[in-house]
Structure 1
Amino acid sequence: MVDTAALLAAYDAQMRMPPGTVPAGEIHEHDGPLLRIVGEHMGRIRGPRDLGVSGAALDRLIARQRDYFRDRDQAVEWKVRAHDLPAELPERLVAAGFVAQGPSTVLIGVAEEVATEPVLPDGVVLRRVSEAGDLRRIADHETVVWGFDLSWVAGHLGAHVKADPDHITILVAETDDQIVCAAWTIYSPGTDFGALLGGTTLEQWRGRGLYRAILAARAREAAARGFRLLHVDASPDSAPILRRCGFHEVTTSRHYQWTPPAKAVE
C-alpha cells in the first residue's frame, strides 16, 4: 500500500513555496505567511498549508494582495488546496472579489516507477528544446490546444531557461515540423520533487500514447537527476492517464483569480 499521507506531507513541506532559482524578471516578496510573485503575465500568491490567521485578519491579508495588484492594474491568482487552513479561506477570497477556477487533482508519482522507455507513434520524434523560436512554437501549440491566448508561455519558459537552464527540461514531440505534444519539468533543488507542467496534445493526436511517452521521458530524466518524486496539478483529461501510470491522488487544488475592472473609456 502506498502511504499517500506521507506523500502529502512531503508535498506540504517542500512544494508550497517555489524553491530554487527565481526566473529572470520575477520578484518574490513576502507578506506575512504569503509569498507574492510579481513580474509574470499574472501575479501569483502562494502560502503554507495553514496561514495562521482567520476572520478579519484574513480579510485584511487578502485585501492587501488584491489591492497590490489592483494598483499594478494586473490580475492575480491565489492557489488553494482542499486541505488548506483556515477552511474559510475560499469563501473569504470570493467575498473579496476572487473567482474560483476549475479544480485540479494533485497527483504524486515515484519517478523510478514511472520512468519506462518512451514509446512514440511512427514518424514522431521527441526533442529537448530551449531556443526562443521553439518556445514560441510551444506557446502557439498551447494556445491551439486550450483555445485561448497563451502567448505568454514563450516568455515564461524563456525566463526559466535564462535563470538556470539546468533547472528546467522542455520537451516536444514533433512530426513533419509540427508540435503534436509538449511538456516541461521544473526541478526544485533541495527537494525530492520535479514538477511536471505543460502536458498538452493536439486533439487529433490524442489516444496514441504521446502523453504517456513524454511523461516517461520526463520521469527518466528526473530519476537520473536524483529527484525521487514527481508532482502534477492534473486536468480532468490528464488525471486518469497519470493514475494508470502509477500516480497517487493526495488532494485537489483550485486557483482563485482576481481581475482588475476594465477602465472606463472617455
Structure 2
Amino acid sequence: MRERALKAADDWVWIPPDAEDYIEADYRLTVYPDRTSVQWSTTERPLDEVIAEVRERARGTNPVLRWWVKGHTKPDNTAAILLDHGFELVETVEVLARQLSTADDLRSTLNPPSEIEVRPANTPDLIYLAGQIDAEVFDWPAPTPLQLQQESDSAAKAMGSPETGRYLAYVHNQPIGTAGFTITDGVLRLWGGGVLAKARGRGAYRALLAARCAQGVAKGATLALVKGRIATSAPILRRAGFTSYGTEQCYQGALPT
C-alpha cells in the first residue's frame, strides 16, 4: 500500500485550463494565474544552475515562485540550497491514505455529527460559494472565471454519476465548509477540504470526509488519498484511519520582474 500511495501522490498534479505547464527532464514548472510552482525536481545538475534557469524562465509570471520538496526530490539537500537562495518554508503537508471499505464501516469510523448537513455543490452559484470559502480558509485568491466555468461544466457532465465534484457543509442552513474529490484509477483524491474558522470543532470536516469517502466506495475506488496540513486536517485524518506516508514541503521565493 505504501508504494501505491506514494505513486498516487506523485501522479497528483492539478493543471487547470488557464495554467501553463512545462515538463522537463529534471523538473516540472507550472504557471498558474496566481502563482508559479515547481511541482517536483530530481536533478543531477548543480541546483544553483536549475534555480537560476527556473527563475529566468518564470520571470514576470507572478511575484513569487513556489518549490515543492518531496521524498524523491534530488539533490537530497534541496531544501537547504533553496534557503540559501532566499526561499522560506511556507507550508508542510502530510501525505495520508487509507483503504476504502464499505460505506457503513466508514460512517462508523468517521462518525459525522447529525447537525452537519452535507450537500453537493453542483451548480455555478454553489461552486462559486465553495470557491469563496476556499479563498477565506486557505488565504488564496478566489477561482478565476475560467476555473469556475470549467468546474461548472464538469459538474454538469457528471450529474448522476460523478467522479469529480465538490460538497458544501451546512449547519442550521448556513454554509461553513467545503471539500472536493476526484476519482482516478481507483484512487479517491481528496482535495480542498476546509472549514471556516468560526465553525471549526463541530465535526464539519469529518462530515465532508465521510460524504466523499462514501462517494468513492460507490464508484469503486479502493484507496483514499489526501495531502493534509499538519496543524489542522492531518490529525483528524489520522484519527479517521488514515496512515501517514511522509511529508511534502513548499518553499517560496521572489521572482524577478
Please, what TM-score do these two structures have when normalized by structure 2?
0.81
How far 1:177 sits from its partner (Å)?
A: 4.6
Tell me if structure 2 keeps the 8 A contact 1:83–1:251: no
Q: Contact 2:186–2:222 (CA<8 Å) still a contact in 1? A: yes
The yes-or-no answer on 1:196 pairing with 2:187 is: no
Contact 1:41–1:152 (CA under 8 A) maintained in structure 2: no
List per-residue Cα deviations over 1:120-147 (Å, max 9, x = no partner).
433x42111133322222232234435x
- Per the alignment, residue 27 of structure 1 pairs with 20
Q: Cα distance, 1:201 vs. partner?
A: 1.6
Superposed CA offset, 1:48-82 (max 9, x none): 6xx1415x2x2222222222222324433221124
Q: Deviations over 1:163-194 (max 9, x none)?
A: 67555220001245521121111333xx3422
Q: Would you say the 8 A contact 1:201–1:210 is kept in 2?
A: yes
Q: Choose the corresponding residue for 2:92, options 103, 112, 116.
A: 103
1:47 counterpart SS class: strand
Note if 1:231 corresponds to 2:225: yes
AA aligned to 1:237 is T
How many residues get paired?
247
Q: Residues 65-84 of structure 1: matches in 2 within 5 Å? A: 65-82=54-71, 84=73
Letter in 1 for 2:196: L
| Partner Cα distance (1:253, 1:226) in 2 | 28
CA contact (8 A) 1:126 1:174 kept: yes
Structure 2: any 5+ residue segments left out of the alignment?
Answer: none
Aligned residues of 1:121 and 1:209 also touching (Cα < 8 A) = no
SS in structure 1 opposite 2:80? helix
- Would the aligned equivalents of 2:18 and 2:147 in 1 still touch at CA under 8 Å? no
**Matching residue of 1:53:** 44
Contact 2:36 2:62 (C-alpha < 8 Å) held by counterparts: no
1:254 is displaced (CA, Å) by 0.8
Distance in 2 (CA, whole Å) between partners of 1:139 and 1:38 is: 20
SS in 2 for 1:138: helix
Distance change >3 Å, CA 155–CA 141, structure 1 → 2: farther
Q: CA deviation at 1:158?
A: 4.6
Residue 169 (structure 2) aligns with = 173
Distance 1:40 1:162 in 2: 20
d(CA) in 1 for partners of 2:76, 2:140? 33
Given residue 46 of structure 1, which amino acid in structure 2 is its aligned partner?
Q
Other structure's SS at 2:166 match: strand
SS at match of 1:53: coil
- In structure 2, distance between residues paired with 1:232 and 1:64: 31
Amino acid at match of 1:126: V
> Which runs of 5 or more structure 1 residues have no equivalent in the other structure?
1-5
Aligned match of 2:121: 129
Counterpart-to-counterpart distance in 2, 1:16 and 1:149 = 23
Instruction: Map 1:76-95 to 2 at 5 A.
Output: 76-82=65-71, 84-95=73-84
**1:133–1:209 distance in 2 versus 1, CA, 3 Å:** same
Report % sequence identity: 22
- TM-score, normalised to structure 1, is 0.79
Provide the residue aligned with 1:3 in structure 2: none
More divergent stretch after superposition (70-79 vs 98-107): 70-79
Q: Tell me the amino acid that sits aligned with residue 36 of structure 1.
A: L
